[in-house]
Structure 1
Amino acid sequence: MDKIYTIVEKTLPLIPLRGVSIFPYMVIHFDVGREKSIQALEHAMMTDSMIVLSTQRDPKIDDPTEDDFYDVGTVANVKQMLKLPGGSIRVLVEGLNRCKIKECVKTEPFFEVILDEYIYNPDKVEQTPEIEAAMRLIMNDLEDYLALNPKISQELLTTVEDIEDPGRFADVIASYIFLKQEDDQSILETFDISERLEILHKILQAEIELLRIEDKINQRVRKQISKVQKEYYLREQLKAIQKELGEEEDYSSEIEEYKEKIRKAKMSKEAEEKALKEVERLSKMPSYSAEVGVIRTYIDWLIDLPWAKETKEKIDIKKARNILDEDHYGLDDVKERILEFIAVKKLTGTLKGPILCLVGPPGVGKTSIAKSIAKALNRNFVRMSLGGVRDEAEIRGHRRTYVGSMPGRIISSIKKSGTKNPVFLLDEVDKLANDFRGDPASALLEVLDPEQNSTFTDHYLEVAFDLSKVMFITTANTTATIPQALLDRMEVIRISGYTEEEKYEIARRHLIPKQLKDHGLSLENLSISDQALRIVISNYTREAGVRNLERNIANLCRKAAKKIVEIKTKKVSINANNLDKYLGPPRFRFDTVKDEDLVGVVNGLAWTEVGGDTLSVEAIVMKGKGSIQLTGQLGDVMKESAMAGISYIRANAEKFGIDPYFYKDYDIHIHVPEGAIPKDGPSAGVTMATAVISALKNVKVKKDVAMTGEITLRGIVLPVGGIKEKVLAAHRMGIKMIILPEDNKIDLNEIPDRVKKSIEFVFVKKLDDVLERALLIADGGKDESN
């Protein structure tokens, strides 16, 4: 090998190549886009136009290091450069000689390497019989390869036949045929001529075998296609025979039947033209065509939609009021708003107005209210759940170009309702999601806009359908997660939680009769005492609605049914004494007023998605270095409220009679029990500040006082939301006085009168007013601070 190569050491710039290997004698152009490669190219052009080209081991690496390209590459001469738009360069190079990279001396601003260039001397190569035989074998391989691979021109044989030098012969063939990167590199790294020819022969043999397998597969596919074509001709002949025998009438009668159905469907002009056009296409297709089923399904959808079918409304306000009262106990404000809506509909004859959005905790009857509205208006009712919907196609449908496409759930539900004017409930609108498949909330904007939905277009139907006569009602647990643009199209009607008295009435009037019927029982078989029912409400459920209450009543019915069947008794009586035998020990215990007044313990009020709740906020002061600790899994907003309250206390320590340097000498720990439950929100600001002042002054807080409100750094008490739910929670706890922000006074209009009569409401503007009513020192008590 030493005879046929002259080894010269050089230092040249290097360009790493991705997915391509350059051989000697090979002329090729490629694009250079990486900054390092461009710098190396420009350096080469400013010197002797010589550059090293080495292939990357992994073509996916965008920023290779010196370890990421092979040690054997090709010294090439840069023939031409052309700058392209976007900053990249198209370069034409000619491969000269193999080289071995010894050391990378520079990596910035481009790669520069020390290498040994192996300058090939073809005159010193011995034409041995072994080399001549290898070249003949490779020529035979090349003929087979080109016969199986039409992508490479047969002219390659002529080009190679004229090459006598075996080294150049191997390199030229390797540069023309399509090989794996590893195969190309193995040929490039083989300096011995005989060994290189042998490797090339093995690689070509393997490629030929693969090409033969591909050819077999292609032949099999062609036979299958020929079979399909043959069947097509046979079916056409069969069709002609059937026509002669008069058996084609079935198909043509089906086409006429479709046309008749389209005329009777009373579609819009656009939809009718589209349907007739599809029927015309169907008539021209052979019955065995795969597209026939797709067209039939589309036409059936157009025909089955209620283009002109609608129920006749019977708008009677008195009847509507009776239906709402029969189906729902309480909810007076909600019923009044719904009756107003129905009255306007009677006067105007149209529904162009805001979409009703019923917002409230789970189990308060949002869905059943929508059903009652449909019943009152004598309309069909249809419900669509939006919880977790994240695909826009769920609303607008799939385009018919997709396999398995279908209309969206809006159109599907309209078809299911059978009329074009149903009451359409969009349930859980606050739980819509979005991802790469689109934003269903944005798709709903057109559906819920009275100015647009008269021409709602489903992607599958591709024709407009009038939704303007549909009465849309939505439900949600909270408006916080509803997109603002969507919320703007709806009028929010809030349904708060029920009092224990309301739950009792609902259970007696609705839940117990319903469950008795579902379980095959009657009042003669099962009796539940009033006291037992109240215990179920207070000790076995903890919710704003009545869903869990209904589950517990169903549980009692099941156990009673089992007892009746098993021991053949005629009646089961459930009272306060034997209730735990049926439901087990009480699962919940609502917070009750503490037995005594305590220092640093304040009753707070909170709002959650499942209704109001009470929070017992505790604060304790210890000798220390002024650290503040907040526990109970509090969110960022709640922590900030606590810090704002403590800052206000520090700024006004002397006014409160507190050591001005308490923040240096004492540690403060604020804790909200039930630490496993995440808690966040600004409404506990005054509660935490009151607890800290109580602990610092060692003054007790009244046990039957609860409070809510946000606090500022100036001690101002700001209004908060969810007042009705919070007041109901305080009422369940047995609170006698509730301290509220002054600006929340208007929210008392929502509170039931029987609740307002049992609680004293105090409205405050500053934290000083809160302390005056909450701390015992202001009520004639003894100041216990020392």
Structure 2
Amino acid sequence: MGNKKEQVAKTMIFSGVSDDDSELIPIIADGDEQELTNFKAPDVLPILPLRNTVLFPGVVIPITVGRQKSLKLIQEVNRTDKLLGTVTQIDGAVDDPEQKDLYKVGTVAQILKILEMPDGSTSVIIQGKRRFEVAEYVEEFPYFRARVNLLEDTTTDADTAEFNAIVGSLKDLSIKIAQYSSNVPPEASFAVKNIENSTFLINFICSNTDLKVDEKQSLLEVADLRERGIQAISYLVKEVQMLELKKDIQSKVKLELDQQQREYLLNQQIKTIQNELGGNPIEQEINDLKEAAKAKKWTEEVGAFFEKEVHKLSRLNPAAGEYSVQYTYCQTLLEMPWDEYTEDNFDLRHAEKVLDEEHFGLEKVKERILEHLAVLKLKKDLKAPILCLYGPPGVGKTSLGKSIARALGRKYIRMSLGGLHDESEIRGHRKTYIGAMPGRILQNIKKAKSSNPVFILDELDKVSSDFHGDPASALLEVLDPEQNTEFHDNYIELEYDLSKVMFIATANTLGTIAPPLRDRLELIDVNGYILEEKIEIAKRHLIPKQLENHGLTADQLIFPKAIIELIVDRYTRESGVRELNKKIAKVIRRVAKKIAFEDSYNVELTEGDIREYLGVFEYSHGSYQGNEFPGVVTGLAWTAQGGEILFVESSQSKGKGGLTLTGNLGEVMKESAMLALEYLKSHTDELNIDSSVFENSNWHIHVPEGAIPKDGPSAGITMVTSLASIMTKRKVRKSIAMTGEITLRGRVLPVGGIKEKILAAKRAGIKEIIMSEENQKDMEEIKEVYLKGLKFRFVKTISEVLEYVLLKK
């Protein structure tokens, strides 16, 4: 090994670990492979335990000898043939290893040089020659001696393209590791590039790879160089990937730091340029905020809080994300109308005129609104009660709020609560969240630029709740005059006075409104319109508005009263006027088309025109079905859309007393049917019913329009009458409808929705209505015009009902 390449290689230094805790410096000697293959060694060798390193054939490493046993072994071997066996310890922490602490496979080593170091320690440079396996240990003192079997490194397929590719891959991966790792000196890649012998290269790389001792030992124990190379590649690939990942992370961190430094320098330059041009726009923004704050009417507390927030803004870096969040917050505080109010117009005559102009009927509602305005005029600082207008759709609940705002000269806000399910929609989000903003209450007040608007909370009954919270509970504070003087919004973080806001809620039904919320509301029932009122609303409001919307004048199309009545009666079935408005719009569109095509048409509409424009009649006149057959009785029902008439039909068939109910009935309605049957069973003598009929017959009660769910107790007397009619084979009196709950004792109890039911009866052509005597008080609140043409009979018991309505034949 005296060639020049060997001498250069022997001087290359690497980091490593020795036979005890000291550093090792692996060196490579590139030579003839035959030298290692033909190497002979004695059968018995002195054994030097190594810890934390594995010696491979051909590799030269320096070790620092620290243990007395090892030092004695080195000195004696150096005086003889300089050959010894190196075996790696299984656990490097053991100071005095025994046979069981050593691996079985090791490497024969030759001492090349012993060096006395300046610190008094001894270093030995050894070179691996050939692998061996320990057969048995023959001595333990003064150091281990063992009988060994030399092992050969097989090189099958050494000249193939695959083996050459393995060697090339190892070389490339090693050079990459040398480039990436700061622990490997630059000479390492030089050494790898200059090793020509494949066996030496594989062993050198296995020795110097940053692997665990047990992993290096497993490589040493592989006899086939091809397999050893493949295993080494798998280890090196992992190491390369790890080094690439570290390098990527470091480059990203450095890039971010460089970017921050670059931005800082650019910002400093921009600041200098801006100062030369007359000022920093960021500072100008902050100064603008301070100037605008001087004109605000807010309290000292709010002013001090705003000043503190602006000061916090001035200390933030404009390039930071927090700056825009803080600036938006300060701007929101500034835009809120703190203590800014519009002046109310307390001309009550004007208010009355506005309400009458824009809404026909609704006398009770208008009266309550004028009462509120009168008290507000006298007291000046009345805490506004929360009005809730409830009634069927299309009766003008929402538009009433707009009329109130116009009458008072206040700003108008409408907020739809339909489908609202997140509490933060009311109270806002904390400003620490991304995209945080105030709740919709304060957002709308900010938009109105007034702290005393008329605020319509539309569809209050449609509020829902889920895992985001319960918005109805958040509304408790908003809608309580005692609490809303200090309304807390999560974003604003200051108490805001809502007591001057005139809140008006609207709902179709009260059943879905939470009881605590309903308790805070002053409820005003907005009933449906009768036929005459709908005709007047159409003439005064709907037709003029739709003519204007479609570009027609009053001279181009005339709606006679009879035609309006026809549309209302035959094409709509509602309590409000929304559907009527659509039908009128449809008629005007058809006429507008004729005008645009220059076709002839009737300026004054006729029944034939309405049939042409709107099609066949959608509803039969009155919808009353008559009394041709026993068992058919007309009842009255209340729905969210207003009153409806419903029919109860009964039939009798052979059977054993079973009762069948159909028509999509709810539990309460089914119970009413069972009550009706039980009442009749217990009163057979009074009604002249043969008691045996209950044992030999089945009964079927059906309420038509089975697709529509029906529930409630108000059909009780209707079911009793229907069953009694079929049992006695007596018809029911003509043009009569009834409503009332029943008890097992035969009493008739009062029910609700009387006005809506009366309107439904009038629409259906009913002439007489039967109801509980206790409902007589409800008639006092109903205008005479609603009752015109109707006869009422008030009853206490079911027997009174049956005696009156069942005909003798």
Q: TM-score range by the shorter chain?
A: 0.7 to 0.9
Equivalent residue for 1:621?
Answer: 652
Equivalent residue for 1:161?
Answer: 213
The answer (yes or no) to whether the contact 2:384–2:503 under 8 Å persists in 1 is no
1:604 is the counterpart of 2:635: yes
In 1, Cα distance between equivalents of 2:231 and 2:757:
84
1:396 is the counterpart of 2:448: no
**Residues 326-725 of structure 1 aligned to structure 2 (within 5 Å):** 326-352=357-383, 354-567=385-598, 572-589=603-620, 591-725=622-756
What is the aligned counterpart of 1:284 among 303, 312, 315? 315
In 2, Cα distance between equivalents of 1:363 and 1:535:
19
What amino acid sits opposite 2:650 in the alignment?
Answer: A
- 1:743 offset after TM fit, Å? 1.5
Over residues 207-260 of structure 1, what are the superposed CA-to-partner deviations in whole Å (9 max), with x where a residue is unaligned? 656645643552453143123222233134315633763643444333222101
- 1:198 offset after TM fit, Å? 12
The answer (yes or no) to whether the contact 1:542–1:590 under 8 Å persists in 2 is no
User: Which moves more between the two structures, 413-422 or 312-321?
Assistant: 312-321
Equivalent residue for 1:743?
Answer: 774
Equivalent residue for 2:83?
Answer: none
The answer (yes or no) to whether the contact 1:331–1:495 under 8 Å persists in 2 is yes
In 1, Cα distance between equivalents of 2:411 and 2:590:
36
In 1, Cα distance between equivalents of 2:549 and 2:343:
32
Distance 1:329 1:163, change over 3 A: closer
Over residues 681-719 of structure 1, what are the superposed CA-to-partner deviations in whole Å (9 max), with x where a residue is unaligned? 111111112101111111111131111111122222221
Distance 1:265 1:713, change over 3 A: same
Over residues 250-288 of structure 1, what are the superposed CA-to-partner deviations in whole Å (9 max), with x where a residue is unaligned? 443332221010111222333322322222233233433
What amino acid sits opposite 1:441 in the alignment?
Answer: A
Over residues 574-621 of structure 1, what are the superposed CA-to-partner deviations in whole Å (9 max), with x where a residue is unaligned? 122321111111222354333444300000100000000000110001
- 1:296 offset after TM fit, Å? 2.2
User: Which moves more between the two structures, 600-609 or 766-775?
Assistant: 766-775
Give structure 1 stretches of 5+ with no counterpart: 1-121, 132-136, 149-156, 170-195
In 1, Cα distance between equivalents of 2:303 and 2:634:
67
Over residues 699-745 of structure 1, what are the superposed CA-to-partner deviations in whole Å (9 max), with x where a residue is unaligned? 11113111111112222222111111011101111111111112211
Equivalent residue for 1:325?
Answer: 356
In 1, Cα distance between equivalents of 2:421 and 2:467:
9
- 1:399 offset after TM fit, Å? 1.1
What is the aligned counterpart of 2:803 among 764, 767, 772? 772
The answer (yes or no) to whether the contact 1:563–1:569 under 8 Å persists in 2 is yes
The answer (yes or no) to whether the contact 1:360–1:476 under 8 Å persists in 2 is yes
In 1, Cα distance between equivalents of 2:627 and 2:676:
25
User: Which moves more between the two structures, 689-698 or 424-433?
Assistant: 689-698
What is the aligned counterpart of 1:269 among 297, 300, 303? 300
The answer (yes or no) to whether the contact 1:525–1:570 under 8 Å persists in 2 is no
In 1, Cα distance between equivalents of 2:248 and 2:211:
31
The answer (yes or no) to whether the contact 1:270–1:463 under 8 Å persists in 2 is no
Equivalent residue for 1:12?
Answer: none
Helix, strand or coil at the partner of 1:527: coil
The answer (yes or no) to whether the contact 2:666–2:710 under 8 Å persists in 1 is yes
User: Which moves more between the two structures, 205-214 or 765-774?
Assistant: 205-214
In 2, Cα distance between equivalents of 1:198 and 1:365:
88
- 1:563 offset after TM fit, Å? 1.2
In 2, Cα distance between equivalents of 1:203 and 1:267:
73
Over residues 464-494 of structure 1, what are the superposed CA-to-partner deviations in whole Å (9 max), with x where a residue is unaligned? 2211110000000000000111111101100
In 2, Cα distance between equivalents of 1:717 and 1:202:
96
In 2, Cα distance between equivalents of 1:653 and 1:319:
65
Equivalent residue for 2:163?
Answer: none
Distance 1:372 1:219, change over 3 A: same
Helix, strand or coil at the partner of 1:388: coil
Over residues 374-420 of structure 1, what are the superposed CA-to-partner deviations in whole Å (9 max), with x where a residue is unaligned? 12212111100000010111111111111111111101110121211
Of the two, which has the highest radius of gyration? 2
The answer (yes or no) to whether the contact 1:632–1:671 under 8 Å persists in 2 is yes
Equivalent residue for 1:238?
Answer: 269
Helix, strand or coil at the partner of 1:526: coil
- 1:423 offset after TM fit, Å? 0.5
In 2, Cα distance between equivalents of 1:697 and 1:570:
57
Q: State how many pairs are aligned.
A: 623
In 1, Cα distance between equivalents of 2:238 and 2:494:
54
Distance 1:709 1:209, change over 3 A: farther
What amino acid sits opposite 2:736 in the alignment?
Answer: V
Equivalent residue for 2:120?
Answer: none
Helix, strand or coil at the partner of 2:504: strand
Helix, strand or coil at the partner of 2:558: strand
Distance 1:244 1:604, change over 3 A: closer
What amino acid sits opposite 1:768 in the alignment?
Answer: S
List 4+ stretches of structure 1 deviating above 4 A: 126-131, 157-160, 162-167, 196-210, 568-571
The answer (yes or no) to whether the contact 1:593–1:703 under 8 Å persists in 2 is no
- 1:334 offset after TM fit, Å? 1.5
- 1:664 offset after TM fit, Å? 2.2
Distance 1:283 1:163, change over 3 A: closer
The answer (yes or no) to whether the contact 2:631–2:722 under 8 Å persists in 1 is yes
- 1:363 offset after TM fit, Å? 0.2
User: Which moves more between the two structures, 579-588 or 535-544?
Assistant: 579-588
What amino acid sits opposite 1:316 in the alignment?
Answer: D
Over residues 516-570 of structure 1, what are the superposed CA-to-partner deviations in whole Å (9 max), with x where a residue is unaligned? 1222211111111211111100111111100111111111121121111211669
**Residues 63-82 of structure 1 aligned to structure 2 (within 5 Å):** none
Distance 1:217 1:666, change over 3 A: farther
- 1:625 offset after TM fit, Å? 2.3
1:756 is the counterpart of 2:787: yes
In 1, Cα distance between equivalents of 2:537 and 2:377:
30
Equivalent residue for 1:726?
Answer: 757
The answer (yes or no) to whether the contact 1:645–1:715 under 8 Å persists in 2 is no
In 2, Cα distance between equivalents of 1:590 and 1:367:
31
What amino acid sits opposite 1:604 in the alignment?
Answer: G
What amino acid sits opposite 2:416 in the alignment?
Answer: S
Distance 1:164 1:495, change over 3 A: closer
In 2, Cα distance between equivalents of 1:586 and 1:330:
27
**Residues 105-184 of structure 1 aligned to structure 2 (within 5 Å):** 161=213
TM-score scaled by structure 1? Answer: 0.73
Distance 1:164 1:537, change over 3 A: closer
In 1, Cα distance between equivalents of 2:620 and 2:508:
24
In 1, Cα distance between equivalents of 2:463 and 2:481:
21
- 1:655 offset after TM fit, Å? 2.6
Query: Over aligned residues, Cα RMSD in angstroms?
Result: 3.5
Over residues 110-146 of structure 1, what are the superposed CA-to-partner deviations in whole Å (9 max), with x where a residue is unaligned? xxxxxxxxxxxx999x998899xxxxx9xx99xx9xx
The answer (yes or no) to whether the contact 1:597–1:703 under 8 Å persists in 2 is no
- 1:670 offset after TM fit, Å? 0.5
Give structure 2 stretches of 5+ with no counterpart: 1-133, 137-148, 155-169, 182-208, 222-226
